[in-house]
């Protein structure tokens, strides 16, 4: 079974600075997807960024980028120029590539609470 671990329960950053959230995962599969979700105080789940394991290039979405290290099974999220609106719980998640009945299932990490100081 796949597992996802976020070892940082809480992180903080100053506004306009850069912060990196860590995520490691365990899988025996070679193809899969990885995601970062943001959960603001409203509790809504918002997709931040996604990475296909077969792509070597790290995904980037504006101020958000990932460092995907497939051999190390590491998937960190870097937030540049942090803004007050970035304050939220962040979840790392894994999804199987395709096939089988569990392909649509997301396996989540424990979450990291990010605080942004003005």
From the CB of 26, what's the least distance to other proteins, in Å?
15
Q: Which is nearer to other proteins, 16 or 103 (CB)?
A: 103
Residue 65: count other Cβ atoms within 10 Å of its Cβ. 17
Q: Which is nearer to other proteins, 78 or 113 (CB)?
A: 113
Residues contributing to the site for other proteins (CB under 8 A): 4, 6, 9, 33, 42-45, 47, 50, 52, 91, 93, 95, 98, 101-106, 108-111
Identify whether the C-beta of residue 114 lies closer than 8 Å to the C-beta of residue 87.
yes
Q: Which is nearer to other proteins, 7 or 18 (CB)?
A: 7
Write phi, then psi, for 45 (nearest 5 degrees). -95, 120
From the CB of 16, what's the least distance to other proteins, in Å?
29
Identify whether the C-beta of residue 117 lies closer than 8 Å to the C-beta of residue 15.
yes
Q: Which is nearer to other proteins, 16 or 47 (CB)?
A: 47
From the CB of 14, what's the least distance to other proteins, in Å?
26
For residues 52 and 55, give the distance between their C-alpha atoms in angstroms, rounded to a whole number: 6
| 3-class DSSP assignment, residue 91 | strand
């Amino acid at each position: 079974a796949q597992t996802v671990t976020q070892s940082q329960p809480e992180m903080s950053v100053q506004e306009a600075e850069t912060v990196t959230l860590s995520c490691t995962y365990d899988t025996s599969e070679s193809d899969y997807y990885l995601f970062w979700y943001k959960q603001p105080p409203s509790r809504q789940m918002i997709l931040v960024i996604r990475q296909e394991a077969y792509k070597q290039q790290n995904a980037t979405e504006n101020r958000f980028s990932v460092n995907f290290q497939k051999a190390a099974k590491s998937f960190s999220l870097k937030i540049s120029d942090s803004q007050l609106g970035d304050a939220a719980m962040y979840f790392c998640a894994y999804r199987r590539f395709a096939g089988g009945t569990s392909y649509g299932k997301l396996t989540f990490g424990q979450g990291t609470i990010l605080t942004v100081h003005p």
